[in-house]
Amino acid sequence: MALDLEARDISYSGTFIPTLTSFPKGTRFVLDFTIPSDNLKDFKNVDSLIGCAGTMVRSNSYGIAIEFDKECRIKNLKNL
């Protein structure tokens, strides 16, 4: 299944994605991110935001939180 959603928060270790669709805790996701050009400066030296894998760790009525797999963590966001 492919969904076109907008991440509300993205950090070193994961992201929160607003969605009305619910998923069971532990659901695996493969994420492809498109970054608006005015935000590209925050993502310098990022190897890839395509094919990032992660696991849903929690959800609420606003959306889902996905924790990235270790190899997908966005190192240059760690100290923001």
| pLDDT, averaged across the chain | 77
Tens digit of pLDDT for each residue in 65-77? 999 998 777 665 5
Q: pTM higher than 0.75, yes or no? A: no
Tens digit of pLDDT for each residue in 3-28? 667 777 777 788 898 888 888 999 99
Tens digit of pLDDT for each residue in 41-72? 655 555 456 778 899 999 998 999 999 998 77
The secondary structure of residue 69, as a DSSP letter, is P
Rounded CA separation 66/13 (Å):
9
- Report domain extents, the chain: 9-77
21: helix, strand or coil: coil
